């Protein structure tokens, strides 16, 4: 607002008279045009933005041929912004774009007007809730215009527009383009801003990119992005989320040993901190999973029990109990396994989640191993009644059908096998269901 008032006052004081106007303008502001302009300036100085806007609209509409109208357009655009109308600002500037670009008088009457137009366009685009794709196109056009007038505009505005483009591309999940714009802005940035850009390029943006790829089941892309991060340039606390994401990406892309290295670093770093951070429990959980995959049951059990003791408020303690149940099953301690699984199923944290379906299915498996078939069927039925988890439904149907076979109830078994074939076309247990149907047709049931 202060800049707008000053611009008005300075220009009003220096407006050329009809006899003193520069020869190259070919025209002089008429008295009425000048009066409108000066009244608008007084309205702005008095804080009456709406009145100034009305006067400037009259000037630009009814005296559009006047050179002074070109200057009035800039101030009118600023009034629109002050009134919270970035869309009207952009439309006004677009309508006058050709005239202002080709004008030979505007820069004479108001030196630096080109830069002010670019700044106004940037401010309007920043305030306009346009979709990101449209905004990127408009910002790129503005950046090109700034580059054409680099000597006048300077580096600061180019940097601001470039950073806005980086943010927009990131919002569009176009992370590579976002990184390119950040890199382009670095040479023009102040020391503090250049450091912030470096942090974005070396830490925040790769992490956002990798997390996005991982959430969309592209672990190889996630791992590749994070592999480019120079961890030695990051402080250890910053390395933690990077290494977490990298470990998950590596594990899901089949690089278990490389993932293990990341979990080991995280565990070692956590052990140096006092108090031990809460995230150390998540690290121990993942390490225990890998130990179980390697059939190192005793080591996994020891680690899980220690973690439960050291982190009694761990939000995912049910995951620790589930792995302890798996350890108990491996040790043929079925009652102990059932106790752990019951703890998981009773946990409020698993309600409505896949963890509940998984634990209920596993409880059915334990009953199956104990040949407590009625209880196994009941446990599997709990999973069958969870349609939001079709893969677990199909697995529960398969196991329940096997129970019916063992109970010499082939009709019930056949009904469940056929349901798998008809309702779960993409399930990985379909081939087994088809095999069991074929076997039932040729082989008598042996209990």
Confidence class for position 153, pLDDT limits 50, 70, 90: low
What pLDDT does 101 receive?
A: 81
Give the pLDDT confidence of 397-424 residue by residue, as tens digits.
999 999 999 999 999 999 999 999 999 9
What pLDDT does 154 receive?
A: 66
Are the CB atoms for 125 and 86 separated by under 8 Å?
A: yes
What pLDDT does 1 receive?
A: 47
**Which residue in 178, 187, 186 sits closest to 207, CA to CA?**
178
Percent of the chain at pLDDT exceeding 90: 79
Give the residue with greater pLDDT, 393 vs 9: 393
3-state secondary structure (DSSP) of residue 314: coil
C-alpha distances in angstroms, 57 versus 7, 9, 51, 263? 18, 19, 10, 66
Averaged pLDDT for residues 263-275: 96
DSSP of 254-270? T-HHHHHHHHHHHHHHH
| The pLDDT of residue 193 is above 60 | yes
Give the pLDDT confidence of 323-332 residue by residue, as tens digits.
999 999 999 9
Of 19-23, 147-151, 174-178, the least confident: 19-23
Cα–Cα distance, 219 to 229 (Å, whole number): 16
User: Which are the contacts of 401, defined by CB distance < 8 A and separation ≥ 6?
Assistant: 412, 413, 414, 416, 417, 420, 433, 436
What pLDDT does 113 receive?
A: 85
| The pLDDT of residue 17 is above 60 | no
Q: How many CA atoms does the CB half-sphere of 65 hold within 13 Å?
A: 5
Are the CB atoms for 301 and 321 separated by under 8 Å?
A: no
Averaged pLDDT for residues 28-54: 88
Give the pLDDT confidence of 210-244 residue by residue, as tens digits.
999 999 999 999 999 999 999 999 999 999 999 99
User: Which are the contacts of 265, defined by CB distance < 8 A and separation ≥ 6?
Assistant: 239, 243
**Model-level pTM?**
0.75
**Which residue in 100, 110, 115 sits closest to 22, CA to CA?**
110
Averaged pLDDT for residues 247-270: 96
Percent of the chain at pLDDT exceeding 70: 91
Averaged pLDDT for residues 51-56: 96
What pLDDT does 90 receive?
A: 93
DSSP of 262-298? HHHHHHHHHHTSSSPPTHHHHHHHHHHHHHHHTT-HH
| The pLDDT of residue 6 is above 70 | no
What pLDDT does 24 receive?
A: 44
What pLDDT does 5 receive?
A: 44
| The pLDDT of residue 302 is above 60 | yes
| The pLDDT of residue 447 is above 80 | no
| The pLDDT of residue 11 is above 60 | no
Give the pLDDT confidence of 99-128 residue by residue, as tens digits.
988 888 888 888 888 888 899 999 999 888
What pLDDT does 445 receive?
A: 52
| The pLDDT of residue 130 is above 70 | no
What pLDDT does 152 receive?
A: 61
Of 77-86, 130-139, 162-171, 223-232, the least confident: 130-139
Are the CB atoms for 40 and 8 separated by under 8 Å?
A: yes
CATH number of 1-129: 1.25.40
Give the residue with greater pLDDT, 91 vs 17: 91
312-343 b/e (C-beta count within 10 Å ≥ 16 → b): eebebbbbbbbbbbbbbbeeeebebbbebbeb
Residue with tokens 């709406």, as numbered in its chain: 50
Residue with tokens 């809460």, as numbered in its chain: 278
Which tokens hold the place of 86? 């970035």
| The pLDDT of residue 81 is above 70 | yes
Which tokens hold the place of 221? 């892309």
How confident is the prediction for the chain on average, in pLDDT?
90
């Amino acid at each position: 607002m202060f800049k707008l008032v000053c611009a008005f006052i300075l220009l009003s004081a220096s407006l050329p008279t009809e006899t003193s106007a520069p020869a190259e303008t070919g025209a002089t502001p008429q008295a009425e045009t000048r009066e409108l302009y000066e009244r608008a300036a007084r309205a702005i100085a008095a804080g009456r933005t709406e009145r100034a806007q009305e006067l400037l609209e009259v000037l630009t509409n009814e005296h559009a041929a006047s050179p002074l109208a070109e200057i009035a357009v800039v101030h009118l655009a600023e009034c629109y912004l002050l009134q919270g109308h970035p869309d009207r600002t952009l439309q006004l500037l677009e309508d006058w774009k050709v005239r202002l670009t080709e004008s030979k008088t505007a820069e004479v009457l108001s030196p630096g007007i080109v830069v002010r137009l670019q700044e106004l366009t940037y401010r309007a685009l920043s305030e306009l809730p346009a979709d990101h794709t449209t905004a990127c196109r408009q910002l790129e056009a503005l950046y090109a215009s700034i580059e054409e007038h680099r000597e006048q505009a300077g580096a600061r505005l180019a940097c601001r527009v470039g950073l806005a483009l980086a943010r927009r591309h990131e919002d569009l999940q176009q992370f590579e383009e976002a990184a390119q714009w950040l890199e382009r802005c670095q040479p023009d940035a102040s020391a503090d801003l250049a450091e912030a850009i470096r942090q974005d390029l070396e830490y925040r943006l790769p992490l956002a990119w990798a997390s996005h790829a991982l959430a969309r089941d592209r672990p190889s892309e996630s791992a590749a992005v994070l592999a480019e991060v120079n961890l030695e340039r990051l402080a250890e606390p910053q390395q933690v989320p990077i290494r977490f994401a990298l470990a998950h990406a590596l594990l899901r892309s089949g690089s278990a040993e490389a993932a293990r290295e990341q979990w080991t670093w995280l565990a070692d770093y956590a052990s140096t901190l006092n108090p031990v951070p809460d995230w150390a429990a998540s690290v121990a959980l993942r390490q225990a999973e890998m130990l179980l995959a390697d059939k190192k049951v005793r080591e996994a059990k020891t680690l899980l029990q220690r973690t439960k003791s050291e982190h009694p408020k761990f939000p995912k303690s049910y995951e620790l109990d589930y792995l302890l149940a798996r350890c108990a099953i491996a040790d043929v301690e079925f009652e102990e396994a059932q106790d752990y699984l019951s703890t998981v199923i009773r946990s409020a944290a698993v309600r409505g989640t896949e963890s509940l379906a998984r634990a209920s299915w596993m409880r059915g498996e334990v009953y199956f191993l104990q040949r407590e078939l009625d209880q196994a069927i009941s446990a599997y039925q709990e999973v069958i009644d969870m349609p939001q988890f079709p893969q677990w439904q199909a697995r529960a149907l398969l196991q329940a059908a096997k129970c019916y076979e063992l109970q010499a109830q082939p009709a019930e078994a056949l009904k469940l096998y056929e349901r798998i074939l008809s309702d779960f076309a993409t399930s990985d247990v379909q081939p087994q269901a088809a095999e069991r149907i074929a076997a039932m047709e040729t082989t008598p049931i042996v209990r």
